[in-house]
Structure 1
Amino acid sequence: MYEIVKNVIDSKRYALGDMLKKIDTLWVQGDITDEQKNELVTLAQTNADPENSNAPLQKQIEEIAKKHLVLEETVTALSATVQKIKETVESGGTVVPDPEPPVTEEYPAWEPYNGIPPVPYQVGSKVTHNGKKWESMVPNNVWEPGAFGVDQNIWKEVV
């Protein structure tokens, strides 16, 4: 079993978490020695391909980071509103609600970058182009959505 596991690790075609569980199972069953277990764990950790092991986790982290930024902006805006209301009430004034902010479209029309601010599209930027919704997959994206096909990983078509 040791040689089989070692060959799989050498191929670099495994998810690190799954491989470590397999090594532990073989060790508990007595199929490999303590020394073999330690060697395989070290080898597995060294040879792990992040794309196979951490890609889903990294995507989750990026999504959480995006949501965190939105939440932070919302909390900041709400705090400012509460402070304004508090100051108005304490001074004996009447609270008049602010007008509703204009609704911004989640997928605005794509605009070609002309070299002046605002900056090019960033990772996660959303646009509509040629009747389709797109999300930028790269930073500083100046390319037209769909112009190079979906295989180029520049824009991801949102279904």
Structure 2
Amino acid sequence: MTMDIRDTMAELTELDFESEDTIDEALIGGFRSFQSAAVARSYESAFVRYWQCLEALTLVDPEKDRASVPPQRAGTFLNITDSQFFDDRLESLWNKRNQLVHESEPITILESDLNLLKRLADLTIDELLTFRGEHSVSEARLIMDRGGEDNETIQDEIQELEFILDWQSR
């Protein structure tokens, strides 16, 4: 993890285990899956557990979000220099996840697949720990969904929304 491990562990011991629909609940569920992945006996099992970890940490709403959302949201916290390469890697992970979950064909899970999922989980745990008490679940989702967009795209959208607000107020 990117935070000092002692700081991370200290923060994890302060989580509210009684909370529901909160960032603490996401961290608890995510950390449990993270630990399960770390001790999994096979790459396939570890892959599924890391994916479940990301589902919890990225605040997936099973009724609204596609199953491909977790690594995309977690990718917001990486400093991506080649977004096409990263998108291709995510698509590869998504395809492997689908094969593991929905098909019975044997597939090859690479150590690099696990390393990327683990890295995404590490970063997301660190970020969610900083979000505690500062952001709601919906704000955290918004940051993960839109935080990786470039400033120009966001500024263009702000201008469009301001235009609509001006139009509505006349």
> Which TM-score band (shorter chain)?
under 0.3
Higher relative contact order (CA 8 A, sep 6+): 2
Relative to the length of structure 2, the TM-score reads 0.21
Structure 1 or 2: more helix by fraction: 2
Relative to the length of structure 1, the TM-score reads 0.22
Bigger Rg over Cα: 1
